[in-house]
Amino acid sequence: MTYAKPLPVLDPISKPFWALAAQGRFGLQVCTKCKDAHYPGTPVCPNCLSSDQRWEAVSGRGQLLSWATFHRAYWKGFEPDLPFTVGLIRLDEGPLFVCTLVEFEADKLRLDLPVEAVFEKVTDEITLPRFRPSLG
Ligand SMILES: [Zn+2]
């Protein structure tokens, strides 16, 4: 399987996010001291600076804050997908997440639209989250 788009580089901090994604679960890094949930992962909690953090599977749900539809591919691998839409999502747990939107009707996108994560395995190692309008 050849994947022609950029792929995330796994490092010790981000690896648990991708391990959860491979299981079809959306993960956030959560501080065990102050319970702050955040993405992307960081070496120390951005709220209290504790290094005592772990990754947890969370709801994978949020609301659409904004979106943009691309009609030009800035990376050759995206040409077959044109036009494609990327959304800014406020996750139910608080963090913002930028992600490709799938399974939607363009005229139904609106501010605060409930969305949920779905997952697409693109290589043996990487499963990418996407967001679609919430089905329930
Ligand atoms: Zn903290």
- Dist CA 114 CA 135 (whole Å): 9
- What is the per-residue pLDDT across 28-52, written as a single tens digit (0 to 9) for each? 999 999 999 999 999 999 999 999 9
Q: From residue 111, how far is each of 13, 24, 127 by CA, in Å?
A: 32, 26, 27
Ligand 1 (ion): residues with CB under 5 Å are 31, 33-34, 36, 45, 47-48, 50
pLDDT at 1: 56
pLDDT digits (tens, 9 = 90+) for 62-79: 999 999 999 999 999 999
Ligand 1 centroid, distance to 56 Cα (angstroms): 14
